[in-house]
Amino acid sequence: MILIVDSGSTKSDWIAVDNNGNQLFEKIRTKGLNPAILPEKKLFKIIKSSKELKKNKDQVTHIFFYGAGCGTENPKRLLKGVLQEIFVNAQIDVNEDTLAAVYSTINTPTEAAVVCIMGTGSNCSYYDGEKLHQRVNSLGYILMDDASGNYYGKQLIRDYYFNHMPVTVKHAFETKFNLESDYIKYNVYKQPNANAYLANFAEFMFLNKDSEYIINLIKDGIRLFAKNMIMQYEEELKTVPVHFAGSIAFFAQNEIKEVAEEMGFKVGNFQRRPIEGLIPYHTKDL
């Protein structure tokens, strides 16, 4: 049994396939397994909370894990150790989530492209057809993550409190969410996964895209992301497309294309859920 895992800070999707590439049971969803944020004890607890994973753990022979927070060595080693202790018979590969975005969006295994993630968090890399190159070392959601779910959640809350929202949008926003200041501060400063909490607000944008304020908010975030991340690969952009993975990117396709035209880069493919592209990638040679 092979497990393919796509994990963000909010959720992790697990798919099991056999040696013929057939899916064995329904996709399993657990909470996100970001080893840069969560302690070892919490990682164990999340994985062990799945009855299906617990029941099949000894049959797993290989795990391909792609996750947020797995781009640096110490968190990567921590998560691999946790997985190895649970899935004792498995060979385990742990890679950053950007590589999952690459494999799920490129048209051929050797295609060169700039590949972006816009989900709960955000990132951007250049894939030369063989290797991944990253020119910005992510410092996490507090300092980076432009145009991500948590970025937009933070912007929405700030605009609400600073009275920058139009009245109609403000009314809709306060109707949908608990915006009491102590409640927000409790979730941001005292609860784990503040980035995932903030990202929950981002859905509001896509339900209210008839507002000029919302459209401008989305575009401003994309412009910031493009300036700080995509344009790191200015020379490569002359010859390769920019692919996008993640729910924020998927629902902001029109705005991304408009910003791309402004800034002079070519938009390629969109993949809402990278795991859907990982299945054929990992089973084509079985």
Distances (CA, A) of 98 to 26, 37, 210, 284, 285: 25, 17, 32, 21, 22
Query: What's the angle, vertex CA 70, arms to CA 8 and CA 19, rounded to 5?
Result: 80
- 7-35 tens-digit pLDDT: 987 789 999 998 777 888 888 999 999 99
Tokens standing for residue 27: 């996709």
- 40-77 tens-digit pLDDT: 999 999 999 999 999 999 999 999 999 988 988 999 99
What residues are paired with 96 via a beta bridge?
Answer: 67
Judged against a pLDDT cut of 60, whether residue 104 lies above it is answered with yes
State the residue for tokens 């060595």. Answer: 73
Please give the torsion angle defined by the CA atoms of residues 154, 136, 225 and 122, in that order, rounded to the nearest 10 degrees. -50
| Contact call for residues 25 and 52 (beta carbons, < 8 A) | yes
Q: What is the pLDDT of residue 139?
A: 87
Q: Write the single-letter amino acid at 95.
A: N
| CB within 8 Å of 246: residues ≥ 6 apart | 101, 117, 118, 119, 122, 272, 274
Distance between CA atoms of residues 159 and 235, nearest Å: 36
Distance between CA atoms of residues 16 and 168, nearest Å: 46
- 117-145 tens-digit pLDDT: 999 899 999 999 999 999 998 888 899 99
**What are the DSSP E strand ranges found in 89-147?**
91-96, 113-118, 122-127, 132-133
Q: What is the pLDDT of residue 131?
A: 92
Distance between CA atoms of residues 214 and 119, nearest Å: 18
Q: Which helix (H) or strand (E) holds 227?
A: helix 212-228
Three-class secondary structure of residue 6 per DSSP: strand
* All domains in the chain, ordered by first residue: 2-100+275-283 (3.30.420.40)
